[in-house]
A and B are shown apart, each in its own frame.
Chain A
Amino acid sequence: MLTQIRRSIVLALFCLVFFGLLYPLVGTGVSQVLFKHQADGSITANGSTLIGQNWTSPKFFHGRPDDFGPYAGTGDNPLVANGKSGDSGATNLGPRSRKLETYTEELITYWHKMGVNPTPDLVTTSGSGLDPDITPADAHAEVPMVSKATGLSPKVLDQLVTRETNSAQFGFLGSDYIDVLQLNEALAKME
């Protein structure tokens, strides 16, 4: 018994030092040398390309409604309601949730007011609450709103969306997607 306890403590401490400190610290060191930009969060001039933002102006394309409409600051957004705004997470509303139905209706009304006929992605929240991407179909759906606010023709905007579309990796891993921040940066350059 005493031998077992002694061996347990020795092995637990070895693992603590080796896998708890050495492994992540060496990993951090190598990552910082090889992939500094990614390891630090893919931060660009206007934010991280991997973390979604809440775009409010109709002059820009909007992302998933993770943080606006009924899910904004107040109300029942679990990301905000528990006083930890900024934490990642989903709404966790079930498929037969009255609240989810109501919120979706509100979002449809919101989009209609902006002149957009919303796709499913534009009225549902993401798994992280920080989704940086939308699909090409979502972006095309938003073109009328951006066109009206910026005066750019729908044709030019549709071309921009197509240009900014990233195809699924190797053609099949994941979906085709558009990074909303990069799309809006390209849009700002056009104006």
Chain B
Amino acid sequence: MQFFWTLVALVVVLGLAWRFLGSYMAAVFEGRVHWLGWLERPVYAALGTSPEQEQSWKRYAGSLIVFSAVSILLTYLIIRTQGSLPLNPQHLGAVSPALSYNTAVSFVTNTNWQNYDGESTMTYMSQMAALTVQQFVSMAVGVAVAIALVRGFARRNSPTIGNFWVDITRCLLYIELPIAFVFGLIFVGQGAVQTLSGPVHIHDILNNMTQVIALGPVGFMEVIKELGTNGGGFFNANGAHPFENPTGLTNFISIVLLLCVGFSLTYTFGKMVGSIRQGVALLAAMVILFSAWVGFSSYSEHVGNPAVAAAGIKSQPTGNMEGKEARFGGTQSALYDIASTQTSTGSVDGSNDSYTAMGGFGLITGMMLGEVSPGGDGSGLYTILIYAIIAVFIGGLMIGRTPEYIRKKIQAKEVKLAGLGALVMPIIVLILAGIAVSVAEGRAGPLNGGPHGFTEILYALVSQANNNGSAFAGLTGNTQFYNVIGSIDMLVGRFGIMIPALALAGSLAKKGAVAESLGTFRTDNGMFVGLVIGVILIIGGLTFFPAVSLGPIVEQLIHSKFF
């Protein structure tokens, strides 16, 4: 019953966000919002640019790549030199080069894969000036690419797709900053810590024990971690830690923050292309996939943990509680973790590694579908638009007409770019997973034995290629091998899809509009929604079924065997 009301509340809040945040974001990127103009204008002046100076797609992509490279370098330098920087009450030393590089790539690509324990590795300076900054910036970059692609559909005969610098500045100031600040205060009010003093030493006379409790500037990082679909927490335990996610309310707000921008961008899309119905169609595809996965995984966790049952616990009324927190319970934890894996966030409020075989199947397959339900901020929208282009192409083949989408002709060039965008992720995952299981360094990683060990490796590579960052955390990732292949995985998974998406934007923007006729294949009805879902499931299923069947599926099928 509690789960039911949580879902009702979620639908209401997200529905409001979809309508109002969606139209607000459209207004922001169309340049109709100015309340922080006093801050926005000096930034443009310092950059030597202005909203009127538009860029071609190549220049847009060039700016994005150079900016990302500079961000990786700066993040790397801060983490490497953190030992000599201020705000280091624990006197932590520098982070090793391989781990610093992996972490810098991870936060710049919106992945937030963490091969370290936050509280004993990163200084407050690193957490704030290196990691929190990239949690803001990488969200803005993702949303900017999505908006550029939407402009490709919205514009007619245009050589340009917007200005990268202006788009990310607007996203940072008008969308991220106000939401993060307000919810940051709510999180602290609920019990998330926010301080610059070092760990506190406790002596409990009652219990006759001593304890060291790590503190830090956590609450305000926590909200941008969720809002920006980043997922990299201050502490090792991430959203399970009571100082990051103290109450049932913060758990619920986290879920809302994870999902709100991804879903709302479909409204922004509809508004900018002049037909809300087109946005609703994409929203419907996202919601149907998301609901199916929530139902499946919550049920699987509700059934309980087989190892605990085998040890002699007869009934598990609260579901599988291994690796879950008492204040959230089994099913609400599953809701959070599904929301997090389907938005490319990767924060966790429990241990994904201890999920049941089918619960874990829900987590990993949600990512394997390319993070489109609703996906990461921006990346979800541009990836589902890529799938939508493939869907109209297949639809066009079936009825023998040149496909069109949002009044733009979809021709060979667009289909090739969409195909590239859809296949980059599975290709890099399968190649790297093949390498990891073939070499001793790769096989040394897993904590668990049997099929679960293989799932730990596969999960890591799927998670990083999708810029998710959640983990079956038993895997020992802080090795030269996993740091290096992980960063390749993250970079290819991020830019290998962004660049085709921007090329699509450029190519579509140049085209004129085709007149709608009776023969036009409609893309705002149930049939199209079904076609998009079909394309997503078929591409994901065909590419990953063999790999998944060796992991969670076989783990589910073997009864009474333990490893």
**Chain A interface residues (CB < 8 Å from chain B):** 1, 3-12, 14-16, 19-21, 23-24, 27-28, 30-32, 34-35, 38-43, 46-48, 50-51, 53-57, 60, 64, 78, 84, 86-98, 100-102, 104-105, 108, 118, 120-121, 123-135, 137-138, 168-175, 177, 184-185, 188
Q: Collect the chain B residues with CB atoms within 8 Å of residue A184's CB.
A: 206-207
CB contact under 8 A between A120 and B321, given known A10-B46, A174-B328: yes
Task: Mark contacts of B1-14 with chain A using CB atoms, 8 A cut-off: 1 yes-contact digit, 0 otherwise.
Answer: 11001100100000
Assess whether B242 is interfacial by the CB under 8 Å rule.
Answer: yes
Separation in Å of the A57 CB from the closest CB of chain B? 8
What are 26 A-B interface contacts by the 8 Å CB criterion?
A: A5-B66, A6-B48, A7-B49, A11-B67, A12-B74, A15-B136, A23-B220, A27-B184, A27-B217, A28-B220, A39-B219, A41-B243, A43-B200, A57-B208, A60-B207, A86-B120, A86-B212, A90-B351, A95-B355, A95-B356, A97-B448, A97-B563, A126-B240, A127-B333, A174-B329, A175-B2
Contact A120–B313 (Cβ < 8 Å):
yes
Interface-side segment among B16-24, B303-311, B513-521, B522-530: B303-311
Q: Collect the chain A residues with CB atoms within 8 Å of residue B252's CB.
A: 173-174
CB nearest to B320 among chain A residues: A95
CB contact under 8 A between A95 and B305, given known A86-B214, A125-B322, A131-B325: yes
Task: Mark contacts of B173-191 with chain A using CB atoms, 8 A cut-off: 1 yes-contact digit, 0 otherwise.
Answer: 0000100110011001111
Closest 3 CB pairs of A and B: A174-B248, A127-B240, A90-B351
**Chain B interface residues (CB < 8 Å from chain A):** 1-2, 5-6, 9, 43, 46-49, 62-63, 66-67, 69-71, 74, 117, 119-120, 128-130, 132-133, 136-137, 165, 168-169, 172, 177, 180-181, 184-185, 188-197, 200, 202, 204-209, 211-215, 217, 219-221, 235-237, 240-243, 246-249, 251-252, 304-308, 310-313, 316-318, 320-329, 332-333, 348-351, 353-357, 360, 447-452, 472-474, 555, 558, 561-563
Q: Collect the chain B residues with CB atoms within 8 Å of residue A127's CB.
A: 237, 240, 323-325, 333, 348-351
The contact of A175 among B191, B240, B322, B328, by CB within 8 Å, is B328
Contact B313–A123 (Cβ < 8 Å):
yes
The contact of A40 among B69, B193, B248, by CB within 8 Å, is B193
Contact B132–A172 (Cβ < 8 Å):
no
Cα A93 to Cα B311 with chains together (Å): 14
Contact B353–A168 (Cβ < 8 Å):
no
The contact of B190 among A16, A38, A118, A168, by CB within 8 Å, is A38
Contact B321–A124 (Cβ < 8 Å):
yes
Q: Collect the chain B residues with CB atoms within 8 Å of residue A7's CB.
A: 47-49, 63, 67, 165
Cα A128 to Cα B245 with chains together (Å): 10
> Across the A-B interface, how many residue pairs have beta carbons closer than 8 Å?
380
CB nearest to B243 among chain A residues: A50
Q: Collect the chain B residues with CB atoms within 8 Å of residue A102's CB.
A: 311
Contact A46–B357 (Cβ < 8 Å):
no
Cα A174 to Cα B497 with chains together (Å): 37
CB contact under 8 A between A131 and B220, given known A19-B132, A90-B353: no
CB contact under 8 A between A90 and B177, given known A31-B188, A84-B120: no
Contact B241–A88 (Cβ < 8 Å):
yes
CB contact under 8 A between A188 and B206, given known A20-B130, A95-B357: yes
The contact of A129 among B196, B237, B322, B353, by CB within 8 Å, is B237
CB nearest to B304 among chain A residues: A120
Separation in Å of the B554 CB from the closest CB of chain A? 10
Contact A120–B316 (Cβ < 8 Å):
yes
Q: Collect the chain A residues with CB atoms within 8 Å of residue B130's CB.
A: 20
**Max count, chain B CB within 10 A of own CB: residue among A24, A86, A87, A185:** A24
Q: Collect the chain A residues with CB atoms within 8 Å of residue B215's CB.
A: 40-41
Contact A40–B195 (Cβ < 8 Å):
yes
Cα A39 to Cα B181 with chains together (Å): 15
CB contact under 8 A between A87 and B120, given known A28-B217, A93-B353, A104-B307: yes
Q: Collect the chain B residues with CB atoms within 8 Å of residue A125's CB.
A: 322-323
Contact B128–A20 (Cβ < 8 Å):
yes
CB contact under 8 A between A133 and B326, given known A1-B66, A43-B202, A87-B117: yes
Q: Collect the chain B residues with CB atoms within 8 Å of residue A38's CB.
A: 188-193
Cα A88 to Cα B446 with chains together (Å): 20
The contact of A105 among B137, B180, B312, B329, by CB within 8 Å, is B312
CB contact under 8 A between A120 and B308, given known A46-B204, A127-B348: yes
Q: Collect the chain A residues with CB atoms within 8 Å of residue B211's CB.
A: 47, 51, 53, 86
Cα A96 to Cα B181 with chains together (Å): 43
Contact B354–A96 (Cβ < 8 Å):
no
Contact B136–A172 (Cβ < 8 Å):
no
Q: Collect the chain A residues with CB atoms within 8 Å of residue B195's CB.
A: 28, 31-32, 39-41
Contact B67–A12 (Cβ < 8 Å):
yes
Known: A10-B47, A23-B177. 10 other contacts (CB 8 A): A24-B132, A24-B194, A27-B184, A43-B213, A90-B473, A97-B562, A120-B321, A127-B323, A138-B326, A174-B247
Cα A1 to Cα B67 with chains together (Å): 11
The contact of A87 among B119, B243, B247, by CB within 8 Å, is B119
The contact of B354 among A1, A24, A90, A177, by CB within 8 Å, is A90
CB contact under 8 A between A51 and B207, given known A39-B188, A127-B324: no
CB nearest to B560 among chain A residues: A96
CB contact under 8 A between A94 and B452, given known A20-B132, A41-B215, A174-B332: yes
Contact A15–B133 (Cβ < 8 Å):
yes
